[in-house]
Amino acid sequence: MNRKHWIDNLRWVTVLLVLLYHVIYFYNNKGVFGGVGGFGDGPQYQDVLMYVLYPWFMPLLFLLAGIGSRYALERKTAKEWLGARTRKLLVPATIGLFVFQWITGYFNTHVAGTDVMAAVPQPEKYFMWCVSGIGPLWFIQDLWFFSLILLLIRKIPCSARSCKLFASREWLLVVALALLGVLFWLGQQTLIFNPRPESLDGLWNLYKPVFYFIIFLLGYYVFSRDEVQETLGKAWIPLMAAAVISGTVLTVTTFGQNNTIPQYMSTPLNCLYGWLMCLAMMGWFKAKFDKTNAFAGYMTRSSFGLYIVHYLVVASLGYKMKFYTQLPPAAMYAILTVAVFTLSPLLYEALHRIPFVRWCVLGIRKK
């Protein structure tokens, strides 16, 4: 099977959007957990980016992971694939915490304002930093767990005949794919709407295992089909138009709310926009970006590593600028944006050249 460059391109572009999102999120004043807070109580219109991206960019990454899993399992045995998944996903999300991500955790504990850490003995403090350093790695922890489950259920039959039947009338297939958004909405209903502070409810809402597993399976069983991809490629313009309209209405009517709480994410409008954007982005890239060049090839190889290391740049530099400088907000945003897109690749390039460290942190067996 020829490599589908549009999937590679969409994946690394989405990862770059994650990096940009974290710059804006870090200084948000909408109450979104994890940042250092904004610059006053007035509207921060740059936070619009969170409303534009958050409903769809992580679901899209899980969709693409499901598609890629199907293609990989057609070339590898289950044992080979699970071994590769374990090295690339589980190792960075466990051993990598103790080798590298604890540094991110150090800054995360300062961001959270945990003064109690001052009284914690050093060995315990280090382990707390390691746990706090998980940060965005929840994504790859979810993926490894989903990979295990997939190996148990992948023999469940899924008829390609139905996709081909719908594809004979492409408008009907587009309608069917849009209706799959109901599963998107149902998945969001599995969140805990009133999480208890003293419990693990917050982690459940962060990892969203049921919701993201549904999306992952849709990628594996539905969107890995050629006929589905072809139809999306032909229908990307109306899908994008519908997504832009729904996203505009969502942003205008809800700006100022915390867009990461379950009550917000589970609304029909948020789910409609998130699902339409997933379909539209896949269709757009299938139609226009099924090609590669030297830069795209590099990004395809390195985007996973950029995702792994980028948050250290955000947490460290973002925290230091907010509390130890008098820079104006515009300068902080500009400096942090440039830094995350330049220092993250440099950090990745350095780490992946160090034997053993590259295995621990990036899941790379050899250079």
Quick: pLDDT tens for 115-162: 556 677 778 889 989 999 999 999 999 999 999 999 999 877 765 566
Contacts of 22 (CB under 8 A, 6+ apart): 136, 310, 311, 314, 340
- Confidence check: pLDDT of 114 > 80: no
Task: Give the span between the Cα atoms of 285 and 185, in whole angstroms.
Answer: 24
Contacts of 331 (CB under 8 A, 6+ apart): none
The whole-number average pLDDT for the span 19-32 is 94
- Confidence check: pLDDT of 197 > 60: yes
Domain that holds residue 64: 5-362
- Confidence check: pLDDT of 307 > 80: yes
Q: Is residue 277 a part of any domain in this protein?
A: yes
pLDDT of residue 43: 87
pLDDT of residue 124: 84
Mean pLDDT of the chain: 92
The whole-number average pLDDT for the span 210-224 is 96
pLDDT of residue 149: 96
Residue whose structure tokens are 């100022």: 256
Quick: pLDDT tens for 154-183: 877 765 566 555 555 676 778 888 889 999
Task: Give the span between the Cα atoms of 169 and 75, in whole angstroms.
Answer: 31
Q: How many residues are listed for the chain in this entry?
A: 367
pLDDT of residue 47: 95
pLDDT of residue 367: 55
Cβ–Cβ < 8 Å for 96, 308: yes
Torsion of CA 162, 165, 171, 177, to 10 degrees: 10
Cβ atoms within 10 Å, residue 200: 12
Task: Give the span between the Cα atoms of 182 and 36, in whole angstroms.
Answer: 35
pLDDT of residue 176: 83
Number of domains observed in the structure of the chain? 1
pLDDT of residue 167: 55
Quick: pLDDT tens for 253-287: 999 999 999 999 999 999 999 999 999 999 999 99
Residue whose structure tokens are 């139905």: 162
Contacts of 85 (CB under 8 A, 6+ apart): 143, 144, 147
pLDDT of residue 1: 65
Quick: pLDDT tens for 35-62: 888 998 788 999 999 999 999 999 999 9
Q: Is residue 280 a part of any domain in this protein?
A: yes
Task: Give the span between the Cα atoms of 296 and 26, in whole angstroms.
Answer: 28
- Confidence check: pLDDT of 76 > 90: yes
Residues of the chain with pLDDT > 90: what percent? 80
Quick: pLDDT tens for 224-252: 999 999 999 999 999 999 999 999 999 99
Q: Sign of the C-alpha dihedral, residues 168, 172, 178, 184?
A: negative
pLDDT of residue 90: 97
pLDDT of residue 179: 87
Q: Is residue 11 a part of any domain in this protein?
A: yes
Q: Is residue 367 a part of any domain in this protein?
A: no
